[in-house]
Structure 1
Amino acid sequence: MAAPRAVEVGHRIATARRLARMTQRDLSAASDVSYGMVRAVERGARTPGDEVLDALAAALGVDPSRLRGERVTGDSRMQAALPGLSAVVATYDVPEDGPVRPLDALRTAVAEAVSWRLGSQYLRLAQRAPELLGELQRALHKARDGGERAELAELLTAAYRAADAVAYKAGAHDLSARLVELMRWAATQSGDPLLDSAAAYVRGETFFAAGAHAAGLQVLEAAIDRTPAADSPEARAARGALHMRAAVLAGRAGDADGAERHLGEARRLGDTVPEDVYAGTAFGPSSVRIHEVSVSVGLGNDHLRRALAIAREWVPPQDLPAERRSSFHVEVGRAQLWSGLRDEAFESLKTARRIAPQHARDHQWVREDIATLRRLKRAAREELSHFADWCRVI
């Protein structure tokens, strides 16, 4: 007979999965928990350990404590990580003593953190980032060999970026801005100018958060001028990614001509490289098309037709990072909502949620748009209310 606690936990997992519009196979794929384990856990035949429960919660975009039945806020794990991140940021140049793993192990740990960022696994990042940053800071502080020091700085750049994802999604924008500045510092320590470009790309988010779109556009245009000549796929991707983000900032600033100019350059460069992740940023033809939708939504009004036209004939391929694919559907949902296509807008938000639950739950536009849909779509109010409760609108 199944233990009562196992049955209760399994019921909560199954309920969260249905609210996320996921099948058991979807949940298995998103969490890296075997299909057999998902089935056994949901029917109460197995009690999940902390690691399995955390993986399932991350895939569902809920705090693990919610699946355990504990009464805490939905994002408590991420919020709990912020003081640790703040502490390790404060000691970046005077790190505390502690162990440092060999370079190979640090490479593996950073690669794992980057994969979590690209997959919108923010809870996992929240739990691991403070310790990883502290270890990398110690390693860099102790390193004397120039080559090893440069590689450690590169790893630290990627780790700061991963930690920034936690701070930014948790709404800790001051901490996020500090992490971005440390990312820029570490990129300089690496001696790789392409990492400087990657850091400039990430810095763009601080201007989105502040609503300072015109100023952000100026900063990115200056970064484009500093980017090395596009004589390799990596250099073309670095320059193209900056044009891609500059196009969105121009769109938010209402600069249609500037947006088109940067989008055209991003498209030209994107067509010369295979779709991939370059220095932590996804870039290529599909990424540029997603940003074309974002530009159209940013400009609004008649430009929305362009976003809707793209969505009718194309969806992002499965091999793109989850966060980028989810962003596409969030942007399309806003275009549909503003165009009066309310049912389609809700379907887009549900798709964004299925692809990257944690990304969708913490996205400002998702919260705003689901609140608007609840006011407008009385017939579907119960389903919309479940969604709104999930992303903490009500």
Structure 2
Amino acid sequence: MPVDPRQGIGERVTAARRLARLTQKELADAAGVSYSMVRAIERGARLPGDDVIEALATALSVDPARLLGHRGHTDSRVHDEIPELSRAIAAYDLPEDGPVRSLDELRAAVSEAVDWRIGAQYLRIARKGPGLLEELARALDAARGADRLEVARLLVAAYRTADAVTYKFSYRDLSARLVELMRWAAPAAEDPLLDAVVAYVRTETFFAAQAHEPGLRALETALDTAPRTSGAPEVAARGTLHMRAAVIAGRAGREDTAMMHIGEARCCADAVPEGVYYGTAFGPSSVRAHEVSLAVSLGGRHLQRALDLAHEWAPPRGLPAERRSGFYIEVGRAQLWAGLVDDAFESLKVARRIAPQHARDHRWVREDIATLRRLKRADREDLSNYADWCRAV
């Protein structure tokens, strides 16, 4: 009889909780589960379900696989869910009959999925995403008037959430298809800010193809047509486009253009509070994190700017986990290029603690840990363990 991977999870939860310096009550509150459940799990009196395991892992900033004591568990399960997601994408305009929740319930479900995306909880998205996409497709077919506008907006957000999984796990054809579906659904919402959202996400396809110049043109076209009013969502929409244009211009070697865009993003950020606007984090902290990304993209003399920023500033906990993790991955690369190999490894470890699912499949993480193993002793246990964890060896 196969052994249930949840056996022994209580001891692993206890160890991770103590390492995080949390009480059982604090863990329960952070995970959104009851105090009695946490106590029962740690005593071994109760085996948690998948949703509870994922909630605990999120609260503890660890990979669910660590709590299960099974390497690769999260990644393999994400890949297992991709065929179902692919079917939902293929039948986007031909949904099967089924139930449709109220608009308020759909709004809450999409909001939860967006939280998973910005928190780098890819397994949850992979498991729940196909059903949500199918239900929203049915809702769009049935909706009329103002309700249809709202459902279309929710569908764009859901497509974007699913794209986070396909792009992150290198299903680039599915990712490109989801971007096209965002472009298909956005006009039905009659919301010009969604066009900015779609343009922002579409840049992934240009990054993946290393088509930096076309990507920059697409973003600048979106900026030309973005709403010019002074409301926070409108300012944030323009700011996010400038942030991304700065980075892709840096990748294209267009230093002056990149600096112009990051300056415009900074001006926009000064006019709005840090927050999530139309599913994208924007504000002073987000722009500062992108300054590091831009410095790494430009390389050379700009690397010192990345190192200086990392020395004087750290992303606040309120910033989405994926963005915070990305900051440390970028900093780690700058440190590695500057010869600060021990600092680089520390940065990669921080990135892993913040968003393990994000760090594990990041191409730069694999490349940099492999380089670190070559520079240091290849048999050093901590480096080898990290390399094994992200499948760099």
Indicate whether the TM-score tops 0.5: yes
- 1:51 alignment counterpart: 51
The residue type equivalent to 2:85 in the other structure is: L
Q: Residues 99 and 310 of structure 1: is their aligned pair in 2 closer, same or farther, counting only changes over 3 Å?
A: same
- 1:297 alignment counterpart: 296
Deviation at 1:44, TM superposition (A): 3.5
Q: Residues 36 and 291 of structure 1: is their aligned pair in 2 closer, same or farther, counting only changes over 3 Å?
A: farther
With structure 2 as the length reference, what TM-score do the two structures score?
0.91
CA contact (8 A) 1:24 1:38 kept: no
Deviation at 1:5, TM superposition (A): 7.7
Deviation at 1:322, TM superposition (A): 1.0
- 1:138 alignment counterpart: 138
Deviation at 1:386, TM superposition (A): 1.4
Q: Distance in 1 between matches of 2:128 and 2:7?
A: 30
- 1:121 alignment counterpart: 121
CA contact (8 A) 2:247 2:293 kept: yes
Q: Residues 39 and 347 of structure 1: is their aligned pair in 2 closer, same or farther, counting only changes over 3 Å?
A: farther
* SS of residue in 1 equivalent to 2:230: coil
The residue type equivalent to 1:233 in the other structure is: A
Deviation at 1:224, TM superposition (A): 0.7
- 1:198 alignment counterpart: 197
Q: Distance in 2 between matches of 1:27 and 1:214?
A: 47
* SS of residue in 2 equivalent to 1:378: coil
Deviation at 1:70, TM superposition (A): 6.4
Deviates more, 1:353-362 or 1:50-59: 50-59
Identity %: 62
Deviation at 1:324, TM superposition (A): 0.9
Deviation at 1:50, TM superposition (A): 3.2
CA contact (8 A) 2:5 2:69 kept: no
- 1:152 alignment counterpart: 151
Deviation at 1:12, TM superposition (A): 5.3
* SS of residue in 1 equivalent to 2:47: coil
* SS of residue in 1 equivalent to 2:281: strand
- 2:217 alignment counterpart: 218
With structure 1 as the length reference, what TM-score do the two structures score?
0.91
Does residue 319 in structure 1 map to residue 318 in structure 2? Answer: yes
Q: Distance in 2 between matches of 1:308 and 1:294?
A: 11
Deviation at 1:56, TM superposition (A): 3.6
Counterparts of 1:10-159 in structure 2 under 5 Å?
Answer: 10-11=10-11, 17=16, 22-23=20-21, 31-33=31-33, 41-42=41-42, 44-57=44-57, 62=63, 68=68, 74-143=74-143, 145-159=144-158
Q: Distance in 1 between matches of 2:34 and 2:379?
A: 34
Does residue 382 in structure 1 map to residue 381 in structure 2? Answer: yes
Q: Distance in 1 between matches of 2:123 and 2:312?
A: 34
Which consecutive residues of structure 1, in runs of 5 or more, have no partner in the other structure? none
Q: Distance in 1 between matches of 2:71 and 2:365?
A: 24
Deviation at 1:131, TM superposition (A): 0.1
Which consecutive residues of structure 2, in runs of 5 or more, have no partner in the other structure? none
CA contact (8 A) 2:61 2:354 kept: no
Q: Distance in 2 between matches of 1:302 and 1:104?
A: 51
Deviation at 1:49, TM superposition (A): 2.9
Q: Distance in 2 between matches of 1:212 and 1:385?
A: 34
Aligned-residue Cα RMSD (Å) equals: 2.6
Deviation at 1:51, TM superposition (A): 2.7
- 2:171 alignment counterpart: 172
Deviation at 1:248, TM superposition (A): 0.4
Cα distance per residue 1:46-105 (max 9 Å; x no partner): 4323332233456655465x7556687651211122111111111111211111111111
- 1:344 alignment counterpart: 343
Q: Residues 166 and 283 of structure 1: is their aligned pair in 2 closer, same or farther, counting only changes over 3 Å?
A: same
